[in-house]
Amino acid sequence: MIAEGLVTDEQPPRLIGGRDRESGRIVFPCPPSPGFEPVPLGRHGRLWSWTVQRYRPKSPPYAGPAAFEPWAVGYVELPGEVIVESRLAHVAFDAIAIGMELELTLIALDPAATEPVLIPAFQPLAASQPEGAGA
């Protein structure tokens, strides 16, 4: 995993947010502060906004593949909790639509790496369902 404390150990994993002990407001990721308590977030959400990352981020801190491939990144609204920024996975750029239903998954930062570093991402809900299954 790219960083400790981002997702739960359960399967399927969930993001770990932080609930402000005074206001109840939820944020992601959970701040390392006694004012916040860790809380597992919902796995499903809707795409709020998105764009395509078309240029390789500078290194450091980006330590991804040298052969850069553009990726989609979006803001995903987890109902009643928080809006998180995340990579979008297993979806063609022209198939992405505001409001589409998404679920959390883990993907390799560099799919070609022999020991891949996993990052949280969201994929279309239908991507994890067997063909012919209802939504």
Residue 51 belongs to domain with CATH number? 2.40.50
79: number of CA atoms within 13 Å, CB side? 7
Q: Which domain holds residue 94?
A: 42-127
In a domain, 121, yes or no: yes
Domain assignment present for 52: yes
Residue 60, domain member (yes or no): yes
Alpha-carbon distance 125 to 30, whole Å?
Answer: 25
What is the pLDDT at residue 60?
64
**Residues near 11 by Cβ (< 8 Å), separated by ≥ 6?**
none
- The pLDDT, as a whole number, for residue 61 is 60
The conformation of residue 15, written as its DSSP 8-state character, comes to B
Q: Which of 91, 62, 59 is nearest to 74 (CA)?
A: 91
Cα 8 from Cα 15, distance rounded (Å): 6
Domain count, the chain: 1
Backbone angles phi, psi at 128, to 5 degrees: -100, -5
State whether the Cα torsion 66-121-9-28 is positive or negative.
positive
Residue 11 falls inside a structural domain: no
Question: Which two tokens mark 135?
Answer: 């939504």
* pLDDT at res. 128: 59
Domain assignment present for 6: no
Is position 2 within any domain?
Answer: no
Partner residues linked to 38 by β-bridges: 18
Place of tokens 């399927």: 12
Helix (H, G, I), strand (E, B) or coil at 84: strand
Amino acid 133: pLDDT: 47
First to last CA, the chain: 29
Over the chain (135 residues), what is each successive 10-residue block's mean pLDDT?
82 95 96 95 97 82 72 96 96 96 91 83 78 46
Tell me if 23 is assigned to some domain: no
At residue 134, the pLDDT reads 46
pLDDT for the residue numbered 129? 55
